[in-house]
């Protein structure tokens, strides 16, 4: 997938086999609003440009909090989520993380940051069968991903952790709060 778009993901296949409609147009990163790129980095992986695929500082903090019983902090980077979405399955667990880690380091090295972000923005699930930024922008705001405003981009990025639960259009207080960060 260094040069060609992936035909789909296991999540898309799972949804399709479950009877859902999948909307997944591929959109080159140059045709996606830079507001969305920045919003995704801010919401999902603020150190995206600084790490080699895995944010070991975030992993260490998450492990410390888990040991101390202080909750569940996520430590997955955009690079890890991209590898998971493109090559692996959605379920958690140590086995998947063990498979994901070396693939993430390799993927980040081979793809680079720009291609990793392009892949992420095209395979991320945004709810209601929308996969990718273009499908989400059209489905949620009736416009191209290239024409998303800063606020629309922030709302889309805010729902990424749980796109089946949260909505970018008519969002609740939690999504509004995430989008305003």
pTM of the model: 0.91
CATH number attached to the domain at 10-179 = 1.10.3810.10
Domain limits, the chain: 10-179
Q: Buried b vs exposed e over 78-113: b needs ≥16 C-beta within 10 Å?
A: bbbbbbbbbbbeeeeeeeebeebeebbbebbeebeb
pLDDT single digits (tens) 114-127: 999 999 999 999 99
Give per-residue pLDDT as tens, 142-156: 999 999 999 999 999
């Amino acid at each position: 997938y260094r040069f060609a778009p992936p035909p789909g993901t296991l999540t898309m296949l799972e949804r399709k086999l479950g009877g859902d409609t999948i909307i997944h147009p591929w959109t080159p990163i140059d045709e996606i609003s830079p507001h969305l790129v920045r919003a995704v980095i801010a919401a999902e992986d603020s150190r995206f440009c600084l790490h080699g695929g895995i944010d070991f500082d975030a992993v260490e903090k998450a492990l410390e909090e888990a040991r101390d019983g202080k909750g569940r902090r996520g430590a997955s980077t955009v690079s890890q989520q991209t590898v998971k979405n493109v090559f692996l399955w959605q379920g958690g667990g140590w086995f998947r993380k063990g498979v994901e880690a070396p693939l993430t380091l390799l993927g980040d090295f081979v793809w680079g940051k720009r291609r990793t972000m392009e892949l992420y923005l095209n395979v991320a699930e945004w709810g209601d069968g929308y996969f990718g930024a273009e499908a989400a922008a059209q489905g949620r705001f009736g416009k191209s991903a290239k024409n998303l405003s800063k606020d629309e981009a922030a709302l889309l990025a805010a729902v990424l952790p749980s796109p089946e639960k949260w909505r970018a259009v008519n969002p609740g207080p939690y999504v509004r709060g995430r989008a305003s960060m």
